Amino acid sequence: MERIYNFSAGPAVLPQEVLEQARDEMLNWQGSGMSVMEMSHRGKEFMGIAAQTEADLRELLAIPTTYKVLFLQGGASSQFAMVPMNLLRGKTSADYVNTGEWSKKAIKEAKKFCSVNIAATSEDKNFSYAPAQDKWMLNKDAAYVHYTPNETIGGVEFHWVPDTGGVPLVADMSSNILSKQIDVSQYALIYAGAQKNIGPAGLTIVIVREDLLGQTVAGTPSMFDYKIHADNESMYNTPPTYAMYIASLVFKLLKSKGGLAAMEQHNIAKANALYDCLDSSAFYTCPTARENRSRMNIPFTLKDAALDEIFLKGAKEHGLAQLKGHRSVGGMRASIYNAMPIEGVKALVEYMKAFEKKNG
């Protein structure tokens, strides 16, 4: 069977070249006589893979040497707790910006550790926009400011970096990391589950300013202490070895394709193609504010929700899969991460136009 165009929000499409290389190396990685899955994480082979994975990520994001890069497990959801446990550093409150489902989960978890000040929210318009900086009510004594640069469910993306007046900025970049160039030094901590834009589920990446480590709240388990992972180069326990290997293949591919500047152009072109289709039609509607439209996750509704099932069934028949929207938004959602080729977006647009002609 041919591969389909997979618009899943996550776990999501991976580059075909990466899957092919993983297949070719499945039974015998580079003459080692074994699969990467079977290697000791402390053996020479895997230590080499791990070092290269980190080096390539550092190069792609131009991560300053004053930051640690951690390869953890537990998903972005574990970070919702690990961030306050590690970054409160004796303070009693933190600022959170609430722009949707993932922000809400981060806030709920943080409330177990500190008082949470909602510095800004877009709840008034069903989380369809990113509150402008001048609407933020920041607390200068906050331990940190947490926000979600790309809300995967609502399809709301910040195309600017908040100014927190020196308070450490924390970003849940699960669904837009590596989609564009960023200046890591503007953040105190960036975290991301891998299964959207990096690799397989099971790997969580944390990039954190070194000077913030080592002041966890009392009772923090070792596995939740960034400093312990940093001091042990993410080998305090067994890291997600195979997921790291796949991530390393993705990083290598991104580098060979011109890095994040090229990826950004590729993603802008794809997003524009889909938004142009939505904007030129009275049949489809995108609920997101124009200036906050995500380049990664694009929700849209059909004129008549009764057509949703027919749309999805027809899409599947055209090799366009996983387009059903999240229940909180309804309608459709096309996730078009780095690994989605422009041909996939063009095929979707073509299908949408034909569907509108027939049912509009």
Ligand X SMILES: *Cc1c(COP(=O)(O)O)cnc(C)c1O
Q: HSE, CB side, 13 Å, CA atoms: give it for residue 286.
A: 26
Nearest of 267, 320, 315 to residue 294 by alpha carbon: 267
Binding-site member from 75, 154, 155, 199 for ligand X (CB under 6 A) = 75
By beta carbon distance, the residue nearest ligand X is 75
Q: Order across the sheet with 204-209: list the strands.
A: 67-72, 204-209, 189-193, 169-172, 145-147, 93-98, 115-121
Between residues 196 and 270, which has the closer beta carbon with respect to ligand X? 196
SS3 call for 68: strand
Binding-site member from 6, 8, 148, 301 for ligand X (CB under 6 A) = 148
Site for ligand X in 189-218 (CB under 6 A): 193, 196
Q: DSSP of 196-257, one letter per residue?
A: TTTSSTT-EEEEEEGGG-S-PPTT--GGG-HHHHHHTTT-SS---HHHHHHHHHHHHHHHHT
Strand bridging mode 204-209 / 189-193:
antiparallel
**Annotated active-site residue in 29, 68, 102, 270:** 102
Binding-site member from 76, 83, 167, 277 for ligand X (CB under 6 A) = 76
- Judging by beta carbons within 10 Å of its beta carbon (0-12, 13-18, 19+), is residue 273 exposed, middle or buried? middle
Between residues 148 and 338, which has the closer beta carbon with respect to ligand X? 148
Q: How many residues bind ligand X (CB under 6 A)?
A: 12
Between residues 22 and 76, which has the closer beta carbon with respect to ligand X? 76
Residue 73 binds ligand X (CB under 6 A): no
Residue 174 binds ligand X (CB under 6 A): yes
Indicate the helix (H) or strand (E) that contains 189: strand 189-193
Residue 10 binds ligand X (CB under 6 A): yes
- Helix %, strand %, coil % of the chain (to 5): 40, 15, 40
Q: 76 and 172 in contact (C-beta within 8 Å)?
A: yes
Both structure tokens of 21: 């290389």
Catalytic site includes residue 304: no
- Judging by beta carbons within 10 Å of its beta carbon (0-12, 13-18, 19+), is residue 79 exposed, middle or buried? buried
Between residues 277 and 293, which has the closer beta carbon with respect to ligand X? 293
SS3 call for 116: strand
Residue 98 Cβ, how far from ligand X at the closest point, in Å?
Answer: 13
Site for ligand X in 314-343 (CB under 6 A): none
Q: Taking contact as CB under 6 A, which single stretch among the options 90-98, 170-178, 224-232, 339-347 is the one that binds ligand X? A: 170-178
Binding-site member from 6, 86, 128, 175 for ligand X (CB under 6 A) = 175
Binding-site member from 52, 77, 181, 359 for ligand X (CB under 6 A) = 77
Backbone angles phi, psi at 112, to 5 degrees: -75, -15
Between residues 102 and 113, which has the closer beta carbon with respect to ligand X? 102
Q: Taking contact as CB under 6 A, which single stretch among the options 34-42, 69-77, 131-139, 310-318 is the one that binds ligand X? A: 69-77
Catalytic site includes residue 172: yes
Residue type, 334: A
Residue 10 Cβ, how far from ligand X at the closest point, in Å?
Answer: 5
Binding-site member from 152, 179, 301, 322 for ligand X (CB under 6 A) = 152
**Annotated active-site residue in 180, 196, 227, 324:** 196
Residue 161 Cβ, how far from ligand X at the closest point, in Å?
Answer: 16
Residues involved in catalysis? 102, 172, 196
Sites of contact with ligand X (CB under 6 A):
10, 75-77, 102, 148, 152, 172, 174-175, 193, 196
